[in-house]
Amino acid sequence: MEKTIKVDENTYRMLNELVGEIRSEEKRPVSINEALSKVLNEKKKRNIMDFAGSWEMSDSEEKRMKTGLKKAWSEWKPKSF
């Protein structure tokens, strides 16, 4: 069963750009429906580990972050009920 959806001009342009990218990668005609399905299926498969190693930081940034976290955890007090 097919459904019709409405999108604004900007979204339609982005969808066509996506179709063009996939068409270039796969070297074959691709429909908007196929492009949307591909993007949505890939989104479902995402995992937090997909981002492992993607944050680059210097040694000094790492040291500042660890110091800040240690301080925050040392000052944290659980709520008493």
Structural Rg of the chain based on CA atoms? 22
More confident position, 37 or 52: 37
Share of the chain above pLDDT 70, in %: 100
* All structural domains of the chain with their residue ranges: 1-46
pLDDT score recorded for residue 48: 79
Letter string b/e over residues 8-40, b meaning 16 or more CB atoms within 10 A of that residue's CB: eeeeeeebeebbeebeeeeeeebeeeebeeeee
| Res. 80 pLDDT band, cuts 50 70 90 | confident
Stated pTM of the model = 0.51
pLDDT score recorded for residue 77: 82
